Structure 1
Amino acid sequence: MSENISISTLSGDADFKAYVARPADEPKAAIVVIQEIFGVNAGIRRKCDKLAEQGYLAVAPDLFWRMQPGIELDPDIEPEMQEALDWMGKFDQDEGVRDIEATIKWAREETGGKKVGAVGYCLGGRLAYMTAARTDSDATVGYYAVGVDELLREKDAIANPLILHIPTEDGFVDKETQQKMHEGLDSHPKSTLYDYEGMDHGFATEFGQRRNEENADLADKRTADFFETHLA
């Protein structure tokens, strides 16, 4: 079952929308799904639906709501890709993480105090790393996170398990940045980095031209096993 709900900000002075997918039975835990630069579009909603099929309460907050609520874009349509990049440039990431924290708080209350994890993609992958460092997420996963090399100073704050899925031919994350991510995080006791040889940004998307079935399945299997270990 899916629905759109409202979640209060941490300050309690505003609400933002979120897409929620609920499992058929009592959820074993909750997972916050962190959007790409394309908003809470069909692909992100499908990520939530699949997590609900696995027994989780899945919730995807609209993180762009302060700029324009309800943005939904398609990366395979060039003007929409450019629009998405424009939104990313205007987006306040620190505010976004606070909205993710508010969503985690909502999910804990909604499940009666069960564990809450997070998974993010693209910009959401970067926000997932920030979520691992700045919130009490119980387990966090980032797919093709951008700009993590700029955030390595926050790694000592990561207290719970983190996975980062790294495509080696990511058009938005060059080889030097990937190397810095490995140098900074491979020895961290809570982090695990997986490389996907020859893959580009967006390889695990649900729909569209970017998806690579074999590697998407591998990454998603690792994610599913990770959440089963740390959330269930």
Structure 2
Amino acid sequence: MSAPVQNDDQSAQIIPQEAFDWYDQYAHGIIDRRTFLSRLGSLAAMGFSMSVLSSALLPNYALAEQVSFNDPDIKATYLNFPSEKGHGDGRGYLVTPSEMSAKAPLILVVHENRGLNPYIKDVTRRAAKTGFIAFAPDALHPLGGYPGNDDQGRDMQRSMDRAKIEQDFIAAAKFLQAHPSGNGKLGAVGFCFGGYIVNMLAASIPDVISAGVPFYGTPATKELRKNIKAPLLVQLAELDKRVNASWPEYEQDLKDNHVDYTMHMYQNANHGFHNDSTGRYDPEAAELAWQRTVSFFNQHLR
């Protein structure tokens, strides 16, 4: 499989699937940066420049704004929240509809393994634009917050205590559920690492999470999965071998525990297909997955 991008002469080129697989391995710490760049260099013999490869694989956040922070239909701000079992103090991006005639449903938006970047902030605004109170915590807040660079953000998050990060998200979920303008029904949507966090929250605080949408996320630990009560909408990418390898066992556990779940597998899509800032973005799959997400939350949270 492969994906088209534009080269420096604006003529279409096809990036081999291996390049996307290598990026996924690099982004998740399976290979280091030197190995990743070395493997990309091997594609030079096929006529690809590093600039073409970089434009296909690395994020361009100028592309990741579907809803402006100045949109009159929403209000955006930052809030701190207590996290006694985590890092003590958390911080996140809160976006609410400008006008609410009644208490609104709530959505926790969970970022990838690199902090609260512009793409996730835009997803949070998209959720508010459709009538939800949306909150996106930044796991990197204890280290000063998302640094403006994904590579640095990834290194920062990797250096942190994962158990404390998980407790921060548990605290954020409880904080959001109690929002005075909310109806008390909380959904969670997350991407990559965030998909894992959604699965973990559904298993760890089943009385708090009313619905979960993990995008290409691995499951919670096996001993926790029996606690899941909330309906799940599982979004997976066909070409994402790493995450998909965990699905058969997870699905069996969901069946065994009588969890209401639906899984959608998006054909020819890569891990990260919803992220509109990189070449892995699949517009058709991303739009369909988001429509399904909003419909699912409307069904279970309103």
Does 2:283 align with 1:207? no
Q: Secondary structure at the match of 1:204?
A: coil
Tell me what 2:209 maps to: 137
Change (3 A) 1:206 1:25: farther
Specify the alignment match of 1:151 in structure 2: 221
**CA positional deviation for 1:16:** 1.9
Distance in 1 separating the partners of 2:99 and 2:279? 34
Identify the match of residue 21 of structure 1 among 95, 117, 120. 95
Cα shift at 1:112: 4.9
Q: 1:102 to 1:215 in 2, by over 3 A?
A: same
1:11/1:154 CA distance change after superposition, 3 Å? closer
Match of 1:8 in 2: 82
Query: What fraction of aligned residue pairs are identical, expressed as a percent?
Result: 27
Distance 1:106 1:120 in 2: 17
Residues 212/161 of structure 1: CA separation in 2 closer, same or farther (3 Å cut): same
CA RMSD, Structure 1 to Structure 2 (Å): 2.3
Distance across 2 between alignment mates of 1:216 and 1:186:
27
Higher Rg of the two aligned structures: 2
Q: Which one of 86, 93, 106 corresponds to residue 155 of structure 2? A: 86
Give, in whole Å, the separation in 1 of the partners of 2:154 and 2:82: 27
Q: Mean Cα displacement is larger for which, 184-193 or 208-217?
A: 184-193
| 2:237 maps to amino acid | P
Contact 1:37 1:87 in 2 (8 A): no
Which residue of structure 2 aligns with residue 48 of structure 1? Answer: 124
* Aligned pair partner of 1:191 in 219, 242, 261: 261
- Gap runs ≥5 in structure 2: 1-74
For the 8 Å contact 2:177–2:184, the answer to whether it is kept is yes
SS at match of 1:139: strand
Shift of residue 89, structure 1, vs aligned partner: 3.5
Contact 1:30 1:58 in 2 (8 A): yes
- SS where residue 187 of structure 2 aligns? strand
Match of 2:165 among 93, 96, 106: 96
Q: CA deviation at 1:224?
A: 0.8
2:297 is aligned, of 213, 216, 227, to 227
The Cα shift of 1:87 comes to 3.9
Choose the corresponding residue for 2:106, options 30, 50, 59. Answer: 30
Q: Which structure 1 residue ranges, 4+ long, deviate > 6 Å from structure 2? A: none
Q: Report the secondary structure of 1:206's partner residue.
A: coil
- Report the AA paired with residue 273 of structure 2: F
Cα deviation code 1:16-44 (max 9, x no counterpart) = 21111111222521111011012111100
| 1:39-88 Cα shifts (integer Å, max 9, x gaps) | 111100000000010011111011123345334434xxxxx2xx455345
CA–CA distance in structure 2, aligned partners of residues 12 and 123 of structure 1: 17
Asked whether the equivalents of residues 276 and 283 of structure 2 are also in contact (C-alpha less than 8 Å), the reply is no
Give the Cα separation in 2 of the matches to 1:13 and 1:213: 37
Stretches of structure 1 that go unaligned for 5 or more consecutive residues are: 75-79
Structure 1: distance between partners of 2:245 and 2:129: 38
TM-score, normalised with respect to structure 1: 0.85
Q: Compute the TM-score of the two structures, normalised by the length of structure 2.
A: 0.67
TM-superposed CA distance for 1:227, in Å, is 0.1
